[in-house]
Amino acid sequence: MKKYIVTGGAGFIGSNLVDVLIERGDEVHIIDNLSGGFEENLNPKAIFHKADIRNIEEIKPLFAGIDGVFHFAALPRVQYSIENPIETNEVNINGTQNILIAAQLAGVKRVVYSASSAAYGNQSTMPLIETMLPQPLSPYGMQKYVGEHICRIWSEIYGIETVSLRYFNVYGPRQSSEGAYALVIARFLKQKKEGQKMTITGDGLQTRDFTHVRDVVRANILAMESDKVGKGEIMNIGGGEQHSVLEIAQMIGGEYEFIAPRIEPRHTLADTTVAKNLIGWEPKEDFVKGVEELKV
């Protein structure tokens, strides 16, 4: 049995990981301010600390005796970061630095950081490989990219083990369907359920590499446990297939309309060789089945 902190454990991906850790018999401490997460996502067997990662003095004592930290807490929306660059900077960059400081001071062995494919921005070739020069297109993409450097630097200078996982569009149970910035699959399912037309941004031919949350959870556990990593390594965690936004609307079925495009990369597709080599991870979930599961 290990003692873990899961920041953002009331959110979509974090809460899915918490359930698996609790199922294994680990002791789990959730740090979340419930700004984007939900009380109903909180596993009742986890210990919940309602706290803000921007406040280092508030969170520091929670790290005593912890073996590892899974850091999910963030303001994870591109559009929101464009409208609120200061607030998102404080949470996504300063908050991440606070987590590394608090973990290192408490002698925590390893932090697994939720990075993002948003770091890549537009690249001229696919698939996206970790050695490409990141070109983030938004404050969010830039902030998540800075978080990777914080992790690496904290490993190099202060000796705490870190790993950064760059997720590609995560979908699955508990994905957020609220608000204007919900991710595409959740938004389409909600619009269909409410009898509205699905709104496709731009021409809908932009493609995404969708990754099932169960695959992301498995990657986190492997990254925490693998003895080949811990020095700030960065690796893609993606489904490895491209699907266009239009194709998803057609898979879900029903009426759709086109709305103004957003500032977003045209395509994403993960090369996952590094994750396979370093932590033995490959995507396992089938996309069509994964979306079908969410329809019911």
Write out the residues near ligand NAD by the rule CB under 6 A. Answer: 8, 10-14, 31-37, 52-54, 72-76, 91, 95, 114, 116, 144, 167, 169-170, 176, 183
Q: Compute the distance between CA of residue 159 and CA of residue 148 in angstroms, rounded to an integer.
A: 15
Both tokens of 294, joined, read: 């969410």
For 98-116, letters b (16+ CB in 10 Å) and e give bbbbbbbebebebbbbbbb
Pick 71 or 192: Cβ nearer ligand NAD: 71
Q: Which of 257, 262, 244 is nearest to 80 (CA)?
A: 262
CB of 270 to ligand NAD, least distance (A): 11
Nearer of residues 46 and 170 to ligand NAD, judged by Cβ: 170
Shortest approach of ligand NAD to residue 161 CB, angstroms?
A: 19
Decide whether 145 or 256 has the Cβ nearer to ligand NAD: 145
The single residue listed with the structure tokens 């979306």 is 291
* Smaller CB separation from ligand NAD, 129 or 197: 129
Nearer to ligand NAD, 91 or 279 (CB): 91
Joined together, the tokens standing for residue 114 give 């939720």
Query: Cβ(130)–Cβ(112) under 8 Å?
Result: no
Considering beta carbons, is residue 11 or 204 the nearer one to ligand NAD?
11
As measured in angstroms, the least distance from the Cβ of 162 to ligand NAD is 14
Phi/psi of residue 68, nearest 5 degrees: -155, 155
Active site residue 167: no
Least distance (Å) from ligand NAD to the CB of residue 11?
2
In angstroms, what is the minimal distance from the CB of 106 to ligand NAD? 17
Instruction: Characterize the bridge pairing of strands 47-50 and 68-71.
Output: unpaired
In angstroms, what is the minimal distance from the CB of 20 to ligand NAD? 14
Amino acid at 262: R
CA count, 13 A, side-chain hemisphere, 178: 8
- CA dist., res. 291 & res. 189, Å (int): 10
Q: Which two tokens stand for residue 18?
A: 């918490």
Question: Is residue 161 within a helix (H) or strand (E), and if so which, with residue range?
Answer: strand 161-167
How far is the C-alpha of 58 from the C-alpha of 180, rounded, in Å?
A: 31
Phi then psi for residue 235, to 5 deg, are -145, 145
Of 80, 113, 120, 140, catalytic: 140
Q: What amino acid positions are annotated as catalytic residues?
A: 140
